[in-house]
């Protein structure tokens, strides 16, 4: 457990172990533990509104720039409202969904006031661990897919809400064609262990094919086979697209080491991946996304909002490009794109 501090690793994407295969979302914890956690959580929320100290649990799937920024934004928003009265129990699952479950169950046992789940496997683990403690997800693309919800209409209900990092996928497809009007074949590279990555490539494939572009999916199971799958995708296509995929985000050097020498542009679903191996992206600010999640947490902890009625929130996207990669590939940047800061 730690008091809030500003961590120094915000801008560096670390090479971490890949995300393990996602387990199916389960139900809640036992009735006795749920009742106990409900009592503790309710007391903590009341304490928050009275200016007393309380603890928020943060489960982050893996360390890389985007998720780090979201966590920092979340912490900053809570600190802006509660100052030293908030303590964060921050835990990194090192890319392992089973570890996410262990962390979430630990938060339930310790009776944290609220859980912030950073990335889809963390959200799934938290949802399976408790149906009483408020859970806010962030860096989650599509909540209906992540939680197996039928007819999802924008509000999860129960004890879950949060923010989405989904950029308009039709515009992602438009971006690729804007940069490469003559493109014929695009490889869609993603980790099969990440449900939201599958959703994104399915949608982008649909939009690209509607434009007459052949789009082929290239799935890898973890970082151990990323290199071989990426090489195959680069060999067989004019360009690659990578969604907001946590495994790629933690291993952009592998993709860059294959695609840049081969002169194969990579288009990315978010800025962190683009800065590591991409040409261009329609990206959100993960710091802003996390900050918005923190503002939601403040409303919940102050008793101003009922999480069961809070819809998933989104943020605006910005067109960005990686100057170093564009220069190496001799690409002309279309109007309206902002250079990613080094």
Ordered per-residue pLDDT tens for the chain, 342 residues: 333 333 333 333 333 333 333 333 333 333 333 344 344 444 445 555 566 788 999 999 999 888 999 999 999 999 999 999 999 999 999 999 999 999 999 999 999 999 999 999 999 999 999 999 999 999 998 999 999 998 899 999 999 999 999 888 999 999 999 999 999 999 999 999 888 899 999 999 999 999 999 999 999 998 899 999 999 999 999 999 999 999 999 999 999 999 999 999 999 999 999 999 999 999 888 999 999 999 999 999 999 999 999 999 998 899 999 999 999 999 999 999 999 987
58-67 CB burial, b ≥16 within 10 A, e <16: bbbbbbbbbb
Q: Which two tokens stand for residue 37?
A: 């956690």
Provide the pLDDT for residue 44. 47
Q: What is the DSSP letter of 62?
A: S
Beta pairing partners, 117: 59, 137
Provide the pLDDT for residue 50. 65
* 169-283+318-339 is classed CATH 3.40.50.2300: yes
Where in the sequence of the chain do the CATH 3.40.50.2300 domains occur? 2-165+286-309, 169-283+318-339
Tell me if residue 205 falls in helix, strand or coil. helix
Provide the pLDDT for residue 341. 86
Q: Structure pTM?
A: 0.73
- Sequence-separated (6 or more) residues with CB below 8 Å from residue 254: 223, 226, 227, 230
Q: What is the DSSP letter of 85?
A: G
Tell me if residue 253 falls in helix, strand or coil. helix
The rounded distance, in Å, linking the Cα atoms of 178 and 1 is 47
Q: Which CATH architecture has domain 2-165+286-309?
A: 3-Layer(aba) Sandwich (3.40)
């Amino acid at each position: 457990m730690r008091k809030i501090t500003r961590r120094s690793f915000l801008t560096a994407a670390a090479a971490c172990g890949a995300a393990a295969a996602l387990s199916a979302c389960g139900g809640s914890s036992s009735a006795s533990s749920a009742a106990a956690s409900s009592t503790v959580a309710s007391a903590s929320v009341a304490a928050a509104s009275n200016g007393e100290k309380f603890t928020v649990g943060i489960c982050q799937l893996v360390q890389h720039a985007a998720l780090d920024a979201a966590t920092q934004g979340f912490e900053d928003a809570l600190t802006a409202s509660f100052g030293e009265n908030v303590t964060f129990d921050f835990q990194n699952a090192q890319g392992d969904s089973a570890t996410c479950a262990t962390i979430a169950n630990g938060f339930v046992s310790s009776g944290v006031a609220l859980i912030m789940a950073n990335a889809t496997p963390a959200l799934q683990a938290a949802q399976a661990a408790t149906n009483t403690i408020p859970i806010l997800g962030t860096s989650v693309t599509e909540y209906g897919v992540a939680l197996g919800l039928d007819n999802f209409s924008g509000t999860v209900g129960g004890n879950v809400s949060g923010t989405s990092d989904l950029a308009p996928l039709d515009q992602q497809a438009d971006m690729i064609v804007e940069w490469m009007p003559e493109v014929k074949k695009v490889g869609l590279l993603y980790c099969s262990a990440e449900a939201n990555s599958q959703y994104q490539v399915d949608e982008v494939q649909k939009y690209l094919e509607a434009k007459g572009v052949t789009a082929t999916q290239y799935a890898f199971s973890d970082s151990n086979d990323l290199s071989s799958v990426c090489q195959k995708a680069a060999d067989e296509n004019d360009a690659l697209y990578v969604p907001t995929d946590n495994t790629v985000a933690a291993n952009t050097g592998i993709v860059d080491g294959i695609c840049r020498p081969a002169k194969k542009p990579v288009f990315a679903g978010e800025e962190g991946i683009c800065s590591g191996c991409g040409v261009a992206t329609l990206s959100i600010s993960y710091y802003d996304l996390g900050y918005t999640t923190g503002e939601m947490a403040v409303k919940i902890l102050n008793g101003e909002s009922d999480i069961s009625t809070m819809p998933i929130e989104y943020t605006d996207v910005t067109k960005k490009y990686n100057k170093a990669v564009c220069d190496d590939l001799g690409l002309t940047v279309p109007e309206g794109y902002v250079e990613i800061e080094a």
